[in-house]
Structure 1
């Protein structure tokens, strides 16, 4: 069972608790830190504000328990002097052959999470729009959707760091309907295993 299938009902319960709380600020500070802890992230909320119908949050994040000290220090070092980089530019830095495999991987996840994808173009469009990818990437995914994809072959051929980069959006695709079928679950676990098998910076 995917962690999200356990966490999501718990989060729903906590949301209802927040709605009825008389100490919303302090309760939300505690709750957000708890949500992140489910992922093994140690964080402290330093600021909350209601802004245009959304909650603006500032955090300080400590080294996760599962993160090696050398890796954490390298992350901190890499952050110094760097500006924020969007996921779009990160994908654009992937070599073309790997980018093609990534497009096929996203296509496979859409195929497995939406069995009638060939006839439900609205569902496909909604899933693709949520990925926040450039048009070149989207065209490749649409093309890959026309033929069956093999997760076993893709996982063997794709670079572990490319898999790691794609994991958040892969999970978003798989859970976009708040359901997870066996094929999509198998694919996500295969991606997790592949992402842990190696590391190289793009």
Structure 2
């Protein structure tokens, strides 16, 4: 699994940065290397600090998993689109239908069970961590209820709307990484969600 291979390396490089006197040069190389793990060719053109953040400007080339015609179409789309506003999630939990909200709760409960731990036994410590991820109170309460009657991921992703799958996937990744590692069961569940998202791309 990519995360398990890359995270220890990234941690080692972070420690190197804290000890480096020429940190800028090292970080420029690291950013390009990190993106390279994803098959993205990128060159850092500018790097400077801004308060407690680091601002990085990138020049990105065609990813390895992208055909030349796809890349050209992306460039054409960007050249025609003058908007730079960041798009929010297509769906917002509070505006979902009750059926969609229930599906979200059960999917995230399944991810929690996939960790191999007992999320109900650890609920008192787990609940504030879910809230810290920005989850609404109603969602957290619903997840707690869904944990008491877990359902197979294979059943939950059947006919799952790609927009709902995308909403769940970003939160599922954060949940899976709570213990700093991804189990085989979590990896399988995340891939099932990713496949559901891909249905929108392939449509």
**Interval containing the TM-score (normalised by the shorter chain):** 0.7 to 0.9
Work out the CA distance in 2 between the residues paired with 1:191 and 1:170.
Answer: 9
**1:14 paired residue number:** 13
The 5 Å alignment of 1:45-60 reads: 45-60=44-59
What runs of 5+ residues in structure 1 fail to find an aligned partner? none
Q: 1:16 to 1:4 in 2, by over 3 A?
A: same
CA deviation vs aligned residue, 1:2-53 (integer Å, no higher than 9, x gap) = 1111001111222233233332101101111211221233333333333444
Secondary structure at 1:176's aligned position in 2? coil
Aligned length: 199
Cα distance, 1:166–1:82 mapped onto 2, change above 3 Å: farther
Shift in Å, 1:144: 2.3
The residue aligned with 2:185 is: 183
Secondary structure (helix, strand or coil) at the match of 1:144 reads helix
The equivalent position to 2:175 in structure 1, one of 173, 176, 199, is: 173
Cα–Cα, structure 1 residues 90 and 11, in superposed 2: closer, same or farther, change >3 Å? same
State the secondary structure of the residue aligned to 1:169. helix
1:108 to 96, 107, 110: 110
Q: For residues 110 and 131 of structure 1, what CA distance do their matches in structure 2 show?
A: 14
The answer to whether the 8 Å contact 1:117/1:123 transfers is no
**Divergent runs of 4+, >4 A:** 92-95
For structure 2, list consecutive stretches of 5 or more residues without a partner in the other structure. none
- Correspondence 1:114-133 to 2 at 5 A: 115-133=117-135
